[in-house]
Amino acid sequence: MKKIVCIVLALILLLALTACGSSSKKDDASLTLTAGKLAVSAEIGYPPMEYFDADGSTPIGFDVEMMTEIAKRMGLELDLIDTAWDGIFAGLDSNKYDMVMSSCSITPSRQENYLMSKPYVQNAIELLVPVDSDITGIDSVSGKKVAVQGETTSHDYLRDNDTGCEIMDYDKVINCFDELKLGRVDAVLTDSVVAAYYLGDELDNYKVVWVNSEAEPIGITFRKGNTALCEAVEKVLDEMFADGTAAKIAAKYFGDSAGVEGIR
Amino acid sequence: MDVLQKMLSWLPQLLDGARITILMTITATCAGVILGTFLALGKISRNVVISKLCSAYIFFFRGTPLLMQLYFLYYAVPMFLPALTINSRFLAAFIAYGLNSGAYCAELIRAAIQSIDPGQSEAARALGLTYGQTMRLLIIPQSIRRLVPPVGNEFIMMLKDVSLVSIISLGDLTKVTRSINSSAATPLVYIPSMIIYLIITAFFTFVFNRVESHMAKKE
């Protein structure tokens, strides 16, 4: 009897906790959650978009340099928050940061729930396999193990399309490549920007056998209704594209600036 | 009502995850107890080499995070020593959890053995029993009784440690919950999931309490 009372009390506590909504307030005069600061969330561990330098603590990458420049031009201090990808949008909902700039592909479902900027870099999902693999495209992965990063558009693609493969999802994209290297999975489905980076010095070992015809350009994600901040950021982005800053950063991380040309 | 219906629709997936969680907890804790017994006996052994080896093992596995041990076993070891590649996710996690639990159980078992009045083994030796006989017939049976509560505790800790397996793409209850959370875009799923954890914990607490009182009767 005592135990039942205990369990019931525990459940009540649980429900009571969930009933307490978050109530962080936004300073109305400021564009951002904290005046003078631009809080940006990224899952750092996604080269060449956002990753740590060789020292393991300095965030670098295309997104990182882009956001640094955005914050600088807006006269704000950049506060980069490293967040797990799984849950990154939930943090936006609960006012943990102003925006997510972490290689977010623009998709209809994300646009439905969030405010997304115009694209700032081109991207599509690609299927990567070992050079000697018999997989020739997304049609021939039936019965094979395909690694994806959890809750990414690659993961969505496999869930939404009947490819017949076994989906293996990981927290970090690096684990997908580890698994491919160890031969535990047969293919990796990932963003072309990332695939190109990993293929960089592994061209002899891996090849891309399929690229989704549906492009998934990358944009910045804001809370729904936060148009003021979105517009301010878009303006700065336009400037950065007009004066060649974006192309310069792209060339630094992608080797060329093709990914950002003509995207805006 | 809508909310309840949603929660019910997630139940099959959650229960499938719970199956892995329970299976892993039981098998790994059993492995831990068996391994721990040998480690404990090794640690209190008078053979210095064995004693030091067991101490080092316990020190290592208690001194590094379980998450890292799992990562190391699954991702790093195969890179250095391809022969030791474990391709089954469940097996890899089982080995990591078993090795880790072994270290913790060793300390529990050592404490239980040493809690038996040394006068008893002195008396047994005086009566002509060998060290092995003393341990097997006298000390271990009594230690087991004292071991039930701490092992029950270890079991419940393990139940929650198993949630780390998501890093190797093994679908335990926590991983399934997180997947539903992101695909259904609602954190509501944490509620039924936590309730399932509580039910599992309540069930095993009950089992361990029964075992404990059963043993107390025998005393």
Span B97-150, pLDDT tens digits: 999 999 999 999 999 999 999 899 899 989 999 988 998 888 888 888 899 999
Q: Is the pLDDT score of A26 beyond 60?
A: no
Instruction: With CB atoms and an 8 Å threshold, state whether A171 touches B179.
Output: no
Please give, rounded to a whole number of angstroms, the shortest distance from the CA of B84 to a CA of chain A: 11
- In this prediction, the answer to ipTM > 0.85 reads no
| Distance from C-alpha of B87 to C-alpha of B97, rounded to nearest angstrom | 16
Question: Per DSSP, what are the bridge partners of residue A51?
Answer: A60
Which CATH class for the A33-122+217-260 domain? alpha beta
Domain ranges for chain B, please list them. 2-218
Identify the weakest region by mean pLDDT among A57-61, A201-205, A208-212, B191-195: A201-205
- B65 phi, psi to nearest 5 deg: -65, 140
Instruction: With CB atoms and an 8 Å threshold, state whether A14 touches B191.
Output: yes
CATH code of the domain made up of B2-218: 1.10.3720.10
CA distances from B3 to A1, A24, A109, A226 (A): 29, 25, 22, 28
Domain ranges for chain A, please list them. 33-122+217-260, 125-211
Strands A115-116 and A218-222: antiparallel
Span A105-114, pLDDT tens digits: 999 989 999 9
Please give, rounded to a whole number of angstroms, the shortest distance from the CA of B178 to a CA of chain A: 8
Nearest residue of B to residue A86 by CA position?
Answer: B182
Helix (H) or strand (E) holding B23: helix B2-43
Name the 3-class secondary structure at A127.
strand
Identify the weakest region by mean pLDDT among A45-59, A173-187, B175-189, B199-213: B175-189
Mean pLDDT of chain A: 89
- Single-letter amino acid, residue A124: A
Please give, rounded to a whole number of angstroms, the shortest distance from the CA of A246 to a CA of chain B: 32
Instruction: With CB atoms and an 8 Å threshold, state whether A178 touches B75.
Output: yes
Q: Is the pLDDT score of A179 beyond 80?
A: yes
Domains A33-122+217-260 and A125-211 equal at CATH topology level? yes
- A25 phi, psi to nearest 5 deg: -105, 155
| Distance from C-alpha of B75 to C-alpha of A181, rounded to nearest angstrom | 10
Please give, rounded to a whole number of angstroms, the shortest distance from the CA of B175 to a CA of chain A: 10
| Distance from C-alpha of A246 to C-alpha of A253, rounded to nearest angstrom | 11
**Residues of chain A that touch chain B, judged by Cβ-Cβ distance less than 8 Å:** 3, 7, 10-11, 14-15, 18, 86-87, 90, 113, 147, 150-151, 159, 168-171, 175, 178, 181-182, 184
Instruction: With CB atoms and an 8 Å threshold, state whether B75 touches A7.
Output: no
**CB of B87 within 8 Å of any CB in chain A?**
yes
Nearest residue of A to residue B201 by CA position?
Answer: A7
Mean pLDDT of A4-32: 62
Predicted local distance difference test score (pLDDT) of residue A18? 58
Span B43-63, pLDDT tens digits: 999 999 999 999 999 999 999
Predicted local distance difference test score (pLDDT) of residue A22? 43
**Comparing B120 with A200, which gets the higher pLDDT?**
B120
Contact residues for A64 (Cβ-Cβ < 8 A; gap 6+): A42, A44, A50, A80
Q: Which of B182, B195, B202 sits opposite A86 (nearest CB)?
A: B182
Predicted local distance difference test score (pLDDT) of residue B2? 83
Mean pLDDT of A123-132: 95
| Distance from C-alpha of A114 to C-alpha of B197, rounded to nearest angstrom | 32
Q: In this structure, which topology does domain A125-211 adopt according to CATH?
A: D-Maltodextrin-Binding Protein; domain 2 (3.40.190)
Nearest residue of A to residue B74 by CA position?
Answer: A179
Name the 3-class secondary structure at A194.
helix
Judge whether A222 and A98 are in contact, CB under 8 Å.
yes
Per the structure block, which two tokens stand in for A209? 């056998």
Residues on chain A touching B169 (C-beta within 8 angstroms): 147, 168-170, 175
Residue A75 is classified by DSSP as T
**CB of B194 within 8 Å of any CB in chain A?**
yes
Instruction: With CB atoms and an 8 Å threshold, state whether B169 touches A169.
Output: yes
